[in-house]
């Protein structure tokens, strides 16, 4: 049986992610310290908030040492995805360092609001089981910082400039948007992660 551990790192979207998983027939296990990750076959790191306090909490609860060494698929959502990178301009903080690159503030421009809030279209960059059946779907974003488009980026999005919307490297994946608030496409993305071997 798939044991899905959802990390409670104080993010406001924690409950909605759990409800989305339950709608897919999965009863997630809520984890509040690194010891709770034992026996998990999937780990999800949701997050809404700021990078510096989130990283402080992850360090205090032992997650910062364990997450980079996981041997099972790991999914970061929204801030949780940003924390997978080396560092963030938000609070000038070192993050988990699982993915290379630095998260930067989105730049406002004429007619372009920051934070980026609302629906936007995914642009797949390469094939992945995580994107199976999704294509150029519209998904729901709420963020003021974004990760760069690197070799780990499998789908981008544009808000002024292109940024990483879905990332994958080894058994590590991330979604900058909120799949739990993205309707049918979001449910499919979560379902794909639940079936993903990490290969």
Task: Report d(CA 28, CA 64) in Å as an integer.
Answer: 21
In terms of Cα–Cα distance, which of 113, 98, 41, 26 is closest to 65?
A: 98
Whole-number pLDDT of residue 32: 92
Residue 143 near residue 106, CB atoms below 8 Å: yes
Low-confidence ranges of the chain (pLDDT < 50): 1
pLDDT tens-digit profile of 133-148?
999 999 999 999 999 9
Which residues are marked as active site? 78, 178, 180
Whole-number pLDDT of residue 28: 95
In terms of Cα–Cα distance, which of 68, 99, 72 is closest to 176?
A: 99
In terms of Cα–Cα distance, which of 85, 187, 89, 168 is closest to 129?
A: 168
CA distances from 110 to 119, 145, 157 (A): 19, 18, 19
Question: What is the token pair recorded at 7?
Answer: 């990390």
Question: What is the token pair recorded at 105?
Answer: 């503030």
pLDDT tens-digit profile of 154-173?
999 999 999 999 999 999 99
pTM for this entry: 0.96
Domain 4-195: which CATH number of 3.40.50.880, 3.20.20.60, 3.30.70.990, 3.40.50.410:
3.40.50.880
């Amino acid at each position: 049986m798939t044991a899905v551990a959802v990390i409670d790192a104080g993010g406001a979207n924690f409950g909605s992610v759990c409800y989305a998983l339950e709608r897919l027939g999965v009863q997630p296990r809520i984890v509040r310290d690194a010891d709770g990750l034992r026996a998990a076959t999937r780990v999800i790191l949701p997050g809404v908030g700021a990078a510096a306090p989130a990283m402080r909490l992850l360090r205090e609860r032992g997650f910062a040492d364990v997450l980079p060494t996981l041997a099972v698929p790991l999914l970061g959502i929204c801030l949780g995805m940003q924390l997978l990178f080396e560092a963030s301009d938000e609070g000038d903080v070192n993050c988990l360092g699982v993915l290379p690159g630095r998260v930067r503030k989105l730049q406002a421009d004429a007619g372009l609001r920051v934070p980026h809030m609302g629906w936007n279209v995914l642009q797949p960059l390469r094939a992945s089981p995580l994107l199976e059946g999704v294509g150029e779907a519209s998904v729901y974003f709420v963020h003021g910082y974004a990760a760069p488009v690197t070799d780990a980026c499998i789908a981008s999005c544009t808000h002024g400039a292109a940024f990483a919307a879905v990332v994958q490297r080894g058994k590590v994946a991330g979604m900058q948007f909120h799949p739990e608030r993205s309707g049918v496409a979001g449910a499919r993305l979560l379902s794909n992660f639940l079936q993903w071997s990490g290969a």
